Amino acid sequence: MDFRIADTFTDSLSRLTGDEQKSVKTTAFDLQLNPANPGMSFHKLDKARDKNFWSVRVSSDIRLIVHKTQGSLLLCYVGHHDKAYNWAERRKLQTHPTTGAAQLVEIRETVQEIIVPTYVQAETPKPQAAKRLLFAELSEDELLSYGVPSEWLKDVREADEDSLLSLSEHLPAEASEALLEIATGGKPRVPPVVAPVTNPFDHPDAQRRFRVMTNVEELQRALDFPWEKWTVFLHPEQRELVERDYSGPARVSGSAGTGKTIVALHRAVYLARKNPEARALLTTFSDTLANALNTKLKRLLGNEPRLGERIDVHSIPAIGLRLYKSLVGPAVIASRDDLRGLIRDAAAAVPGHKFSPQFLFTEWDEIVDAWQLENWDAYRNVARLGRKTRLSEEQRAVLWSIFERVQAGMKERSLVTYAAIFTKLAAQIAGGNNLPFDYAVVDEAQDISVAHLRFFAALGANRPNALFFAGDLGQRIFQQPFSWKSLGVDIRGRSRTLRVNYRTSHQIRRQADRLLGPQVTDVDGNIEDRNDTVSVFNGPPPVIQVLKTESEEADAVAMWIREAATIGILPHEFGIFVRSAAQIARAQAAVKKAGLPFTILDERVETTSGHVSIGTMHLAKGLEFRAVVVMACDDEVIPLQERIETVGDDADLQEVYETERHLLYVACTRARDRLLVTSVEPASEFLDDMRTYRKVAE
């Protein structure tokens, strides 16, 4: 007998208390070991339309809903008695007549009406013509091919821009995603079925919601973290990217919340599993994110610890130092203060120039050190991508006389930079026969540097499947743009964009997206199209408030936090972000007024259970919260006035504004359900871009 679980079961399990979940797990394990055990209390649901639905007693009030046939047992739902019975009476398990995929379908007759939430209604109702029906021109065959159940065709045909989001909550995931994409001007991607599917559970769309559990260990892994469904269920598009063979370097992109990190995790595991003798590197740009990746990897592998032993998880700086020590020797990294001091002394030794200390530092950091320029000819001829201030050859000559002194000072003090480390590693690896890793999977790849990419290029050496990158150009906040192709990493033809957002509500995503353009293009001309991204759930629109004083802002944030707490959002499910450390005190004041404990995040401190997390926008990367407040979005705070004042030329402002927009976008898209953005007058000009709420069909 096949023993399966449905994603609806893990969803419902996550809503129970810890003690209730323990009881459910025990019952589920007993069912898997012996479904016919006479001690199991099965009760046939006579009122259910689907006569294969049964309830199983977990406790005096908790009931587990299963779908039982002669050849299979499917865990469908768990909840308190009346709620569980009501769920089963409103659903049926069926095979879609066109796609052949197994679906749990909500019975149309049990839904009295599609209620349109107030947050998608027009702000001021006015007499107007009937709204345009979004799918009236699509044939029945087209709608069926997208997985729309037959009994919901009439509702879909009558859907307009206001009712679509609510309607989509009643439909199977593939149908909901397809309709949302059509409404936003895209064309749904129907997953290819290579061979005719004889078992409806084997269809790609069915595999995203049903999973066979072959043993108790696999079931335990699925139930230990029910809210992290990615450990068990993958979207067909994600699975295709994870298991695909690539002839060279590949990249998966997508806006915040589309599951790029999940694809990277599954890709590393897939490569290690498929190649039993291979070692894989799973890496990202910071220790904090690497620790988060390591935690997720352990959850994904669960009962396969030996597989995990062949996947090394480190931050890029950490793996660089480790390899450098073994291949080259010990290294002393120059701190930013060291570099600023060396640059200041070198600049003072060269008379007659007017270059500011900040310009010199960024020119060193983004050009000379980044590209590891070792002589005047290299600096004179370098293409200064991302540095828009034009320099004459005479000016470059003066600058090089300063940077020569900086390099001499570093050599005298035996200091190196990370750029130097990775450049030397790339040369060592390229000239050797023994690669430290067979495969490298890189998350948050939009923020890797020139030297990092040289290292990965040497590691990949144009081998099939050797390099896999995941990232979003719209979240680039640390690095200047540069050409990957020029460094030997050509992803053209092997770049794909994820389009389904699992983390952020439709309303939050749409408003955050206003900070960015509909398309983002890298230096090599690879385009990331964000137009067809769809969110799979609905929620209230973000709130944007501009207050008169910091005290009023703190009061408003505290009130918002208290109100969110009344609907069940726990302290550790709140994240509060500000532009820089200078605004942390404002966030602290607000959380104190809300009466909740908090933790201040830094590179070493992670989120803490029972505490609100407070941190800068740069530390928001990779985090996720049910409710997020982005505070202190004042004029001269974002974009940060200090950065604007250090710009050497008006043209450089474009890069400053772009990365500052990206920062705000990153902070806002950490929110799953609720978002509040606040400022004190005068507000940042970026808030003007977010104020107008755009409906789904705009």
**pLDDT tens string 407-419:** 999 999 999 999 9
Tokens linked to 592:
């104190």
* Cα distance between the two ends of the chain: 49
pLDDT of residue 346: 97
Contacts of 697 (CB under 8 A, 6+ apart): 132, 134, 161, 164, 183, 184
Q: What are phi and psi of 400, to 5 degrees?
A: -65, -35
pLDDT of residue 693: 37
Q: In whole numbers, what is the pLDDT of the chain averaged over residues?
A: 89
pLDDT per residue as tens digits for the range 585-634: 999 999 999 999 999 988 666 667 789 999 999 999 888 999 999 999 99
Percentage above 70 pLDDT, the chain: 92
Tokens linked to 489:
């990493």
Tokens linked to 25:
């797990």
User: Residue 575 and residue 571: Cα distance in Å, rounded?
Assistant: 9
pLDDT of residue 426: 95
- Whether the ω angle into residue 639 lies within 30 degrees of 0, i.e. cis, is yes
| Distance set, CA 167 to CA 92, 120, 180 (Å) | 18, 12, 10
Is 73:35 a contact under the CB 8 Å cutoff? yes
pLDDT of residue 519: 77
Tokens linked to 395:
């000016």
pLDDT mean over 438-447: 96
Radius of gyration of the chain (CA): 27
Helix, strand, coil % in the chain, rounded to nearest 5: 45, 15, 40
Mean pLDDT is highest, among 114-123, 353-362, 447-456, 537-546, for 447-456
pLDDT of residue 156: 95
User: Residue 285 and residue 288: Cα distance in Å, rounded?
Assistant: 9
Which of 547, 577, 558, 604 lies closest to 669, judged by CA? 577
pLDDT of residue 437: 96
Percentage above 90 pLDDT, the chain: 67
Lowest mean pLDDT among 106-115, 574-583, 670-679: 106-115
Residue 356 has pLDDT above 80, yes or no: yes
- Residue 463: pLDDT band by 50, 70, 90 thresholds? very high
Secondary structure of residue 6 in the 3-state scheme? strand
| Distance set, CA 125 to CA 161, 507, 544 (Å) | 15, 20, 22
pLDDT mean over 66-86: 96
Q: What is the DSSP letter of 368?
A: I
pLDDT per residue as tens digits for the range 391-402: 889 999 999 999
pLDDT of residue 697: 30
pLDDT mean over 501-505: 88
- By DSSP bridging, strand 527-529 and strand 439-442 are unpaired
Tokens linked to 200:
């409806």
pLDDT per residue as tens digits for the range 648-676: 555 567 778 888 999 999 999 999 999 99
More confident residue, 133 or 37: 133
pLDDT mean over 223-230: 88
Strands of the sheet containing 72-80, edge to edge, are: 42-44, 53-57, 62-68, 72-80, 2-6, 210-212
Is 508:675 a contact under the CB 8 Å cutoff? yes
| Distance set, CA 454 to CA 54, 99, 488, 653, 698 (Å) | 59, 45, 8, 28, 42
- Residue 265: pLDDT band by 50, 70, 90 thresholds? very high
Is 379:363 a contact under the CB 8 Å cutoff? no
Residue 38 has pLDDT above 80, yes or no: no
Residue 192 has pLDDT above 70, yes or no: no
pLDDT mean over 94-113: 90
DSSP E strands: which ranges in 506-542?
A: 519-521, 527-529, 534-535
- Residue 696: pLDDT band by 50, 70, 90 thresholds? very low
Q: Which residue in this structure is represented by tokens 């709130």?
A: 543
pLDDT of residue 490: 93
pLDDT of residue 335: 95
Tokens linked to 551:
């005290």
Secondary structure of residue 75 in the 3-state scheme? strand
User: Residue 175 and residue 98: Cα distance in Å, rounded?
Assistant: 12
SS (H, E, C) 240-283: HHHCCCCCCCEEEECCCCCCHHHHHHHHHHHHHHHCCCCCEEEE
